[in-house]
């Protein structure tokens, strides 16, 4: 299932916009960082996508600030892509998620998405 396409249709419906293949094709690259189809994850929003869900459909979002000494790495971004299963936005000083449970999980790691990713990867490896 293509979650980005599903979310795009839901967002368009909530904003009372037409839902057809042309509209979905137009908005997919505007709202999502990566438009490739993935089974899980891959729900990173663009700035325009974040703005749309926050201001047009007023979807609840949760902002989790990074620790003061945190450096965002490519590896951290890959882990987020694999382990965050809701639309999210990576900012310069924080991550914004649309799922309260994910916000709590990230807060328990003090916003350190590197530690969050390592922990999730180790748990997956144990299984």
3-state secondary structure of 58: coil
CA dihedral sign, ordered 48, 31, 99, 55: positive
Question: Is the pLDDT assigned to residue 96 strictly greater than 70?
Answer: yes
Nearest-angstrom CA–CA distance, 97 and 36: 20
Tell me what the mean pLDDT of segment 34-48 comes to: 85
3-state secondary structure of 36: coil
Nearest-angstrom CA–CA distance, 31 and 43: 10
* CB 62, CB 103: distance < 8 Å: yes
Nearest-angstrom CA–CA distance, 96 and 18: 27
Query: Would the pTM count as exceeding 0.75?
Result: yes
Tell me what the mean pLDDT of segment 73-88 comes to: 89
**pLDDT exceeding 70 applies to what percent of the chain?**
98
């Amino acid at each position: 299932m293509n979650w980005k396409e599903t979310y795009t249709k839901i967002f368009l419906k909530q904003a009372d916009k037409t839902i057809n293949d042309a509209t979905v094709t137009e908005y997919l690259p505007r709202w999502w960082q990566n438009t490739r189809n993935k089974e899980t994850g891959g729900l990173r929003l663009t700035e325009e996508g974040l703005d749309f869900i926050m201001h047009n459909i007023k979807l609840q979002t949760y902002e989790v600030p990074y620790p003061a000494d945190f450096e965002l790495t490519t590896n951290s971004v890959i882990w987020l892509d694999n382990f965050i299963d809701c639309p999210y936005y990576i900012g310069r000083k924080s991550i914004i998620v649309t799922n309260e449970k994910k916000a709590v999980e990230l807060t328990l790691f003090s916003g350190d998405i590197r530690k969050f990713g390592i922990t999730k990867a180790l748990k997956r490896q144990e299984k």
